[in-house]
């Protein structure tokens, strides 16, 4: 396991201070599956206060869940106080058997619910599914997230429970839906997951997401989103769902920065559906947006321009930003001796366009001549 040594150091330190500690959850699951480990969660009998005192670099993460973020040798660990009276109780209260495994400092497995067997059976199973799924309905969405990531099948009893309680997903907090949904659409078995999710009719009730059948069908046909940025994933999602712009992302409480980035990509994706890049559109889009748009075209199985070609089109633009324009507002005022006014903005826009399209060289003299010719100054 990547960073196992650091994790071991965290566990050892807690043990030296008289507490029990284990690596739990996804890290153990992924270790046994020989998949890359995303983040390492540690549980301990120490209370958050004790944890804070033992480690020098800590950050209170979530008082409600009694989690402290501990940094050891540059690696972050989420250290959570064991829920209930024992490790056993904590592990049994987790969502799925494959997520209920723990490792001690000697890398010995604690497996109280046959999680290891379910891993080899590729089975998503819950002990007491009725109780687990209703206690926290997010777990139902997590089931489909793990189908998508791992390609596992859902245990029959668990699936029956989901069918019975699917309406409860309406109550999940949107931020929690968002995290699981992103992981779901990035999974290698996305199609299987979406098919099962539609069968279970879970997709209608997920807060914030407006999933249509056609949208889901388009999402199923999309190439893999593995390794794609969050911005590209959300843009792809919006395109699939037929959204006109980024507005539906507001309901998902995504940051303004992400919303703005998605809006730009959607705008140029649409333009690009009609024709290839003109220098002026490429300039307006900027390189990163154009690369993402070509990436999105690839994801949607449209012909796309290679990264190298987009980059060389970008470098061959006469200028790459307004700051490189040879003329400024004060040049215009000085040379024309006219009064300040909105004409300056218009003239600069025109100058920018003339330079980018190659109609005019980027020099003050040429630009003044060209602007006078079209009565812009």
Among 6, 41, 118, 352, binds ligand ATP (CB under 6 A): 41
Task: Give long-range contacts, CB 8 A cutoff, 24+ apart: 228-234.
Answer: 228/186, 228/295, 228/299, 229/292, 230/182, 230/258, 231/258, 231/261, 231/262, 231/265, 231/292, 232/265, 232/292, 232/295, 232/296, 232/299, 233/182, 233/185, 233/186, 234/182, 234/258, 234/262
Among 94, 166, 186, 265, binds ligand ATP (CB under 6 A): 94
Task: Pick between residue 176 and residue 218 the one whose CB is nearest to Mg ion.
Answer: 176
Task: Pick between residue 26 and residue 215 the one whose CB is nearest to ligand ATP.
Answer: 26
Among 26, 115, 187, 208, binds Mg ion (CB under 5 A): 26
H helices then E strands: how many in the chain?
20, 9
Piece of 92-100, 117-125, 301-309, 336-344 that binds ligand ATP (CB under 6 A): 92-100
Q: Which two tokens stand for residue 189?
A: 């078995």
The answer to whether 359 contacts ligand ATP (rule: CB under 6 A) is no
Q: Is the dihedral of CA 120, 124, 126, 132 positive or negative?
A: positive
Distance, in Å, from the CA atom of 280 to the CA atom of 10, rounded to the nearest integer, reads 55
10 Å Cβ neighbour count for 6? 18
Place of tokens 């009730």: 205
Tell the smallest beta-carbon distance from residue 238 to ligand ATP (Å): 23
Of 80, 29, 78, the C-alpha closest to 50 is 80
Window 176-215: contact mask with ligand ATP (x via CB under 6 A): -------x--------------------------------
SS3 of residue 123 by DSSP: strand
Tell the smallest beta-carbon distance from residue 325 to Mg ion (Å): 49
Tell the smallest beta-carbon distance from residue 365 to ligand ATP (Å): 60
Tell the smallest beta-carbon distance from residue 43 to Mg ion (Å): 12
The answer to whether 67 contacts ligand ATP (rule: CB under 6 A) is no
Residue 245 touches which member of Mg ion, ligand ATP, none, C-beta under 5-8 Å by kind: none
Contacts with ligand ATP by CB under 6 A lie at: 25-26, 38-39, 41, 94-95, 99, 136, 138-139, 183
């Amino acid at each position: 396991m990547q960073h196992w040594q650091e994790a071991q150091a965290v566990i050892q330190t807690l043990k030296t201070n008289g507490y029990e500690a284990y690596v739990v959850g996804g890290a153990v699951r992924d270790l046994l599956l020989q998949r890359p480990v995303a983040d390492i969660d540690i549980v301990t009998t120490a209370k958050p206060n004790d944890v804070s005192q033992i480690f020098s670099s800590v950050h209170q993460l979530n008082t409600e869940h009694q989690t402290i973020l501990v940094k050891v040798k540059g690696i972050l660990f989420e250290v959570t106080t064991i829920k209930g009276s024992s490790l056993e109780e904590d592990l049994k209260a987790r969502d799925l058997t494959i997520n209920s495994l723990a490792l001690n400092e000697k890398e010995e497995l604690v497996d109280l619910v046959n999680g290891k067997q379910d891993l080899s059976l590729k089975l998503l199973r819950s002990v007491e599914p009725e109780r687990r799924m209703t206690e926290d309905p997010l777990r139902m969405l997590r089931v489909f997230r793990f189908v998508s990531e791992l390609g596992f099948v859902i245990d029959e009893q668990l699936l029956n429970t989901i069918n019975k309680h699917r309406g409860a997903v309406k109550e999940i907090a949107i931020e929690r839906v968002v995290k699981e949904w992103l992981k779901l659409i990035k999974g290698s078995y996305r199609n299987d997951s979406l098919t099962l999710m539609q069968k279970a009719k879970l997709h209608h009730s997920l807060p914030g997401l407006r999933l249509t059948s056609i949208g889901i069908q388009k999402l199923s046909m999309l190439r893999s989103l593995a390794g794609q940025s969050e911005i590209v994933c959300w843009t792809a999602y919006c395109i699939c769902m037929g959204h006109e712009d980024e507005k539906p992302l507001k309901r998902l409480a995504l940051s303004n920065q992400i919303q703005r980035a998605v809006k730009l990509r959607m705008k140029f994706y649409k333009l690009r559906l009609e024709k290839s890049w003109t220098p002026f559109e490429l300039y307006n889009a900027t390189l990163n947006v154009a690369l993402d748009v070509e990436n999105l075209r690839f994801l949607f199985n449209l012909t796309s321009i290679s990264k190298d070609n987009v980059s060389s089109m970008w470098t061959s633009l006469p200028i790459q930003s307004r700051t490189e324009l040879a003329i400024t507002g004060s040049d215009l005022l000085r040379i024309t001796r006219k009064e300040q006014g909105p004409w300056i903005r218009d003239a600069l826009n025109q100058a920018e366009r003339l330079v980018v399209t190659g109609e005019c060289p980027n020099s003050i003299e040429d630009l003044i001549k060209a602007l006078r010719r079209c009565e812009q100054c």
